[in-house]
Amino acid sequence: MDRHQLIALLAGGGSAYAMCRDALHDGADFTIANGAMPANHFARIYDRRKRHCQERGIATLGFRQGIERLQNARDHAVRLGWVKITNPDYHFQLFLTEDLSAVIACIGVDQAHQVRRDDGPN
């Protein structure tokens, strides 16, 4: 898949799609993984990741809609892709049809969030 094909597949879909599309247009790196898994497999995993982000106050884009779209796709084979940008520092997780003809979901996660842990008294 080339950059222009992916940009075209990200038309519409909401703010995560738009931000990812703009990043690709500006030259962001992207990867499409080989192999596929059932959409409902990813729906379960990313539902847990959504809760993790909410508990830690990590900003996200399109998570709820993305999980709904994966649940609706049920057992259809899905390939993963990702786009990483640094300004702002976001990671976009893409879920594509196995034949790469459509984007099922696009989820953005803020990477600038720093998890702080209590190391005890100084």
pLDDT in tens, the chain (122 residues): 999 999 999 998 889 999 999 999 999 999 999 999 999 999 999 999 999 999 999 999 999 999 999 999 999 999 999 999 888 889 999 999 999 999 999 999 999 865 443 333 43
Neighbours of 5 (CB within 10 A): 11
Cβ proximity of 50 and 67 under 8 Å: yes
Query: How confident is the model at residue 17, as a pLDDT?
Result: 96
Query: How confident is the model at residue 114, as a pLDDT?
Result: 54
Query: How confident is the model at residue 112, as a pLDDT?
Result: 86
Nearest to 73 by CA among 65, 81, 84: 65
Cβ proximity of 2 and 25 under 8 Å: no
Query: How confident is the model at residue 108, as a pLDDT?
Result: 95
Query: How confident is the model at residue 104, as a pLDDT?
Result: 96
